[in-house]
């Protein structure tokens, strides 16, 4: 009961802190607006055919619809990693020391922080769903529920990754630079901005893109998370539908275990 109460307290603290953080809130809204509104609309004409029967990528959606699940993932990822900065914050200002001497177990403390960060990231992911009408992504309540489930797993995995980074980087500046150096490459190589055409064989894909890029995309776990979200939101998968959820759950378990290992040693 004590552990549960502590877990709730730590979770609520993270959520309330995010609610009061105007900067984070502005970021959560401006990212989808920029990516969907400006980038999506800006590049949309280059991904459509001008003649019936001609298209660069023969896929049953527009570019705006294609990047929409990727922008959901982006918002979840940025917020998750930003939430993890609270580990450095708490260490810097002594709050972590106070919590560590409480009767709460380290697992509970870490879980409370990660669940709090994940909740905020999940809410920021939901902010993007508001733009679904603009991107012409028709959503049913079932689609939204499935997307929320996937976003919850993704946010848990990425917040755990953020905590792993925060446990190794001791300064705010270093954390910001390092997290961007991890998040942006992960995002850009997750097939969220450009499609690996599933109609093509591997050999044909290598004609379109260099082999090293295709390999990076295929080995990037985020590729499968974005693909799972794409399957739910626009009903289109580049990979087997079960792969996304399997990779996300696997990454969540591994990253949380590493974060816990680091946290226990700290």
Partner 1 sequence: MPEVSRLASNFGAIGLVLTLLLAVTFLPPDNSLKEVRAGASLRACVPPSYPPLVTGYADRPGLDVELLQAVAVRLHVGLALNSNDAIGRDFNPRNWGLNRAQCQVVAGGVVDSDQTRSFLETAPQYAKTGWAIISPRPLAGLKGLKVGVLTLVSGLDRIGLASFLRSAGVQIQVVRTPEELVAGIAEHRFDAGITEALLATRLAADQKWVAAWMPPELKRYGLVFGLWKGELTLKRAIDQAINDLAADGTIVAILARYAGVPLN
Three-class secondary structure of residue 239 per DSSP: coil
Min separation Cβ 59 and partner 1, Å: 6
Min separation Cβ 62 and partner 1, Å: 5
Using alpha carbons, select from 197, 14, 30, 249 the residue that is nearest to residue 128. Answer: 30
Q: Is 32 in the site for partner 1 (CB under 8 A)?
A: yes
Q: Is 23 in the site for partner 1 (CB under 8 A)?
A: no
Selected range binding partner 1 among 5-13, 26-34, 105-113, 212-220, rule: CB under 8 A: 26-34
Q: Is 55 in the site for partner 1 (CB under 8 A)?
A: yes
Binding residue for partner 1 (CB under 8 A) from 89, 134, 188, 206?
Answer: 134
Q: Is 45 in the site for partner 1 (CB under 8 A)?
A: yes
Min separation Cβ 101 and partner 1, Å: 29
Min separation Cβ 249 and partner 1, Å: 29
The Cβ-side half-sphere exposure at 16, using a 13 Å CA radius, reads 6
Binding residue for partner 1 (CB under 8 A) from 11, 61, 194, 239?
Answer: 61
- 67 vs 248, beta carbon nearer partner 1: 67
Total residues at interface with partner 1 (CB under 8 A): 35
Min separation Cβ 7 and partner 1, Å: 23
With contact defined as beta carbons under 8 Å apart, do 193 and 227 qualify?
Answer: no
Residue 125 burial by Cβ neighbours in a 10 Å radius (0-12, 13-18, 19+): buried
Task: Say how many C-beta atoms besides its own lie within 10 A of residue 21's C-beta.
Answer: 16
Binding residue for partner 1 (CB under 8 A) from 10, 64, 151, 260?
Answer: 64
Q: What CA–CA distance (Å, rounded) separates 22 from 9?
A: 22
Q: Is 158 in the site for partner 1 (CB under 8 A)?
A: no
Binding residue for partner 1 (CB under 8 A) from 2, 5, 8, 41?
Answer: 41
Structure tokens belonging to residue 87: 């580990």
Q: Is 59 in the site for partner 1 (CB under 8 A)?
A: yes
Q: How far is CA 251 from CA 153, 155, 245, 259, in A?
A: 9, 11, 10, 12
Min separation Cβ 190 and partner 1, Å: 23
Q: How far is CA 59 from CA 35, 63, 197, 240, in A?
A: 21, 10, 8, 16
Q: Is 259 in the site for partner 1 (CB under 8 A)?
A: no
With contact defined as beta carbons under 8 Å apart, do 160 and 255 qualify?
Answer: yes
Q: Is 38 in the site for partner 1 (CB under 8 A)?
A: no
Residue 175 burial by Cβ neighbours in a 10 Å radius (0-12, 13-18, 19+): buried
Q: What CA–CA distance (Å, rounded) separates 23 from 72?
A: 19
**Binding positions for partner 1, rule: CB under 8 A:** 19-20, 22, 25-26, 28-29, 32-33, 37, 41, 44-45, 48-55, 58-64, 127, 130-134, 136
């Amino acid at each position: 009961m004590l552990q549960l109460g502590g877990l709730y307290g730590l979770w609520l603290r993270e959520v309330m802190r995010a609610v009061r953080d105007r900067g984070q809130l502005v970021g959560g809204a401006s990212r989808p607006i920029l990516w969907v509104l400006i980038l999506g609309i800006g590049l949309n004409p280059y991904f459509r055919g001008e003649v019936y029967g001609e298209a660069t990528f023969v896929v049953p959606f527009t570019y705006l619809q294609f990047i929409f699940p990727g922008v959901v993932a982006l918002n979840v990822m940025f917020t998750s990693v930003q939430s993890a900065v609270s580990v450095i914050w708490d260490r810097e200002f002594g709050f972590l020391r106070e919590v560590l001497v409480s009767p709460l177990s380290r697992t509970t403390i870490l879980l409370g922080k990660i669940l709090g960060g994940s909740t905020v990231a999940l809410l920021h992911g939901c902010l993007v769903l508001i733009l679904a009408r603009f991107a012409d992504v028709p959503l049913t309540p079932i689609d939204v529920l499935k997307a929320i489930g996937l976003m919850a797993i993704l946010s848990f995995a990425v917040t755990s990754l953020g905590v792993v980074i925060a446990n190794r980087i001791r300064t705010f500046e270093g954390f910001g630079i390092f997290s961007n150096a991890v998040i942006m490459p992960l995002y850009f190589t997750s097939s969220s901005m450009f499609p690996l055409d599933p109609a093509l064989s591997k050999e044909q894909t290598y004609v379109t893109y260099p082999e090293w890029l295709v390999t990076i995309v295929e080995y990037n776990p985020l590729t499968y998370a974005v693909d799972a979200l794409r399957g739910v939101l626009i009903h289109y998968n580049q990979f087997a539908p079960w792969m996304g959820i399997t990779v996300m759950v696997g990454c969540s378990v591994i990253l949380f275990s590493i974060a816990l290992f680091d946290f226990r040693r700290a």
